[in-house]
Amino acid sequence: MPHPLDPLTADEIRRAAAIVRHDREAGDGWRFASIELKEPAKADLPALENGRLAADGRLAGREALVVCWNRADGQAYRATVSLSGGAGKAAGAGGEVTGWEHLPGQQPNMTVDEWHECDEMLRAHPALARALARRGITDMSRVLTDMWAYGAALVPERYRGRRLGWSDVWYRGSERGNPYAHHVSGLHPVVDLNTMTLLEMEDSYEGGEAPDVMGEYLPSLIPMRLREVTPLEISQPQGVGFTLDGYQLSWQNWQLRLGFNHREGLVLHQVGWQDGEGRLRSVAHRLSFAEMVVPYRDAGPDHYRRTAFDIGEWGLGFMTTSLSLGCDCLGEITYLDAVVHDSRGEPRTIPNAICVHEEDSGVGWKHVDERAGVEVRRARRLVVSFHVTVANYEYLVYWRFYQDGNIECEVRATGILVTSHTAAPGSRPANGTLVDQDTYAPFHQHFIVARLDLDVDGADNTVYVTDSVPAPAGGDDPFGLGLVVRTTPLRTEEGGKQDYDWGTQRGWKVVNDNVPNGLGTPVGYKLVPSAAFPPLLDPASPAFQRAQVIGHTLWVTPYREDERWPCGDFPVQSSRDSGLTVWTEAGRSIENTDVVLWYVFGIHHITRPEDWPVMPSDVVSFWLKPSGFFDRNPALDVPPSHDLG
Ligand SMILES: [Cu+2]
């Protein structure tokens, strides 16, 4: 019996698609954009876990959420599929479609199949061959096209209503050369993805040679010898310190449940801390990345359409790549596979998609005393990670659990920068950095939205903004030394829109006012911001209109089961976000209730020559730190290293 939060299995994915095909007579012309577990309502979970009964007493079954569309007319639908109930109308499948919602005017997420079909179609198209031949490129086996989605405001009037893609064209310098090293600047096919036909070939080529670029990273292709490095190995001769039972992960005091879907990739459920008395204390109900917005900040013809929604358009789950031992992860590693699907509803397994392992983390605490001597503890952390490749870029995501109650979320961005040729030989770009001969990388920003459904010792929490301010001098403080922390509760969604302020060392404390710690103060966890930056976008610009979540560092909403995607359910070809800005218009109460935090962080990427030809990992993170959750340092009971084994 699966746990109610376990991701859909390959068999369940296949059955969900078969049930929709059968019940809705969805033939070969239909495509599946997404098939995922419909997670049970939060209120039903405890009952489901003990005896699998929903709150109303009915037998709980597994359900899938399916988004599909008919390529013939472009109409999209969202289905709820019962995988276990029903009269088994679909031959041999069991289950039935229990909900069916038409989504007029919406474009479902892009699919990997469309990306490949588009590339194949274009590379076989005479119009592309002609455009490339003018530039002296005739070997089509070295050509790669890379299709991007549109924002509605940029769709030409004549193509309104179609499912559209626009594409870059790239050329490999050799058989195994970097596909993103040589941009065929000024050449952009526009494609109808439903008919998979070329609508037009934008081409602004006016002659001239492509720049001579060294864009390679394979050892056999780079113009230098590899440096000498000695081996560094990590071993745990007595095995690992964690246990994994299905998707349930336990390590020292930490307990959590792993999940995975096409859009968020890795999801962490039911994160809790087991205290010394065997009491499991809740910290978070659910942690994930809900959106990533990457506006390129260059208005030139090669880049003006480039605002990627890597989660809403493409999906971190779909883009997850297999990890390899000794390279991506060092030491005693446990891997989990993940299952996604293709656009025909066939499951696709990603082997070694999620990595679980322990890491040394330097000194955890230490004191040297004349009499007691040196007392020092190594710190250790449990890491759960996954890597995604979104065309040219890699995002590596690490959730780290520490012995002192800290949770760290780290993102590394690496891969290949998008580049194009400068306007003229020798010219300097206004909105980017020269990274190779007459080749520049436009400035851009990666905004990641973490959806943090914290439940600190229970669901009813209040978020307090904390600002450090100097106390006014005088009175009892003639030397002006006093520092006070101004703590202000966020009561409604309007107040829940928060901006970072390094000047006051602002943070946000998620507090359960109903539960005191041993000192009599309420328990809490603090969101410690870092890697936050302003959008620096005109509020009227289409990029901002589609992703208004990036206008604040933090948003706080009351938990609603169907509020999952901050820029809206379907950002593909959107004109305005239909997520957080719409939900928060109601100004709902966020006081002493089940709150969800939406934290916006990422990389303000002012490109550098050192980011080329492959970018050294850029590392950003934020922390969730216990703040009065414990009565004292919870890592006091960590044994000294010489006692181990
Ligand atoms: Cu970047």
pLDDT tens, position by position, 506-547 = 999 999 999 999 999 999 999 999 999 999 999 999 999 999
User: Is residue 385 a contact partner of residue 353, using CB atoms and an 8 Å limit?
Assistant: no
What are 383's two structure tokens?
A: 């890491």
Beta-ladder partners of 386: 397
CA of 510 to the centre of ligand 1 (A): 31
Task: Assess whether 310 carries a catalytic annotation.
Answer: yes
CA of 411 to the centre of ligand 1 (A): 12
CA of 513 to the centre of ligand 1 (A): 41
CA distance 271 to 450: 15
pLDDT at 55: 46
User: Is residue 128 a contact partner of residue 169, using CB atoms and an 8 Å limit?
Assistant: yes
Q: Could you say which residues of the chain have pLDDT below 50?
A: 55, 57-59, 87-88, 90-91
Nearest to 485, CA basis, from 507, 513, 502, 511: 507
CA of 27 to the centre of ligand 1 (A): 40
What are 407's two structure tokens?
A: 């949770």
CA of 202 to the centre of ligand 1 (A): 26
CA of 131 to the centre of ligand 1 (A): 29
Place of tokens 């590392």: 619
CA distance 389 to 372: 51
Task: Assess whether 393 carries a catalytic annotation.
Answer: yes
Catalytic residue of the set 6, 298, 310, 611: 310
Q: Which amino acid is at 433?
A: T
Exposed/middle/buried for residue 206 (C-beta within 10 Å: 0-12, 13-18, 19+): exposed
Strands (E), 278-372: 280-295, 307-309, 320-321, 334-341, 347-369
CA of 553 to the centre of ligand 1 (A): 19
DSSP run (H or E) holding 170: strand 164-171
CA distance 496 to 489: 9
Residue 458, by phi and psi: left (phi above 0), alpha (psi -120 to 50) or beta?
Answer: left
CA distance 631 to 645: 30
CA of 498 to the centre of ligand 1 (A): 25
User: Is residue 386 a contact partner of residue 362, using CB atoms and an 8 Å limit?
Assistant: no
pLDDT at 84: 81
CA distance 126 to 511: 63
- Please tell me whether residue 585 adopts helix, strand or coil conformation: helix
Residue 288, by phi and psi: left (phi above 0), alpha (psi -120 to 50) or beta?
Answer: beta
CA distance 619 to 411: 6
Place of tokens 């690496």: 414
CA of 69 to the centre of ligand 1 (A): 32
What are 221's two structure tokens?
A: 């292709």
Exposed/middle/buried for residue 201 (C-beta within 10 Å: 0-12, 13-18, 19+): middle
CA of 434 to the centre of ligand 1 (A): 15
User: Is residue 345 a contact partner of residue 16, using CB atoms and an 8 Å limit?
Assistant: yes
CA distance 489 to 483: 19
CA distances from 431 to 118, 298, 304, 492 (A): 29, 5, 11, 39
Tell me the pLDDT tens digit for each residue of 295-324.
Answer: 999 999 999 999 999 999 999 999 999 999
CA of 338 to the centre of ligand 1 (A): 27
Place of tokens 């006081």: 591
Total number of residues shown for the chain? 645
CA of 210 to the centre of ligand 1 (A): 24
Catalytic residue of the set 171, 180, 247, 393: 393
CA of 417 to the centre of ligand 1 (A): 7
CA distance 523 to 505: 21
CA of 165 to the centre of ligand 1 (A): 22
Strands (E), 226-264: 242-245, 248-251, 254-261
pLDDT at 87: 47
Report pTM.
0.97
Peptide bond into 470 cis (omega under 30): no
What are 471's two structure tokens?
A: 């106390």
Instruction: State the alpha helices, DSSP H only, in 63-198.
Output: 112-123, 126-134
Hey, CA dihedral for 140, 146, 147, 153, is it positive or negative? Answer: negative
pLDDT at 645: 67
Q: Which amino acid is at 71?
A: R
Q: Which amino acid is at 468?
A: S
CA of 53 to the centre of ligand 1 (A): 47
CA dihedral angle for residue 419, residue 425, residue 426, residue 429, rounded to 10 degrees: -40
pLDDT at 174: 96
CA distance 526 to 454: 10
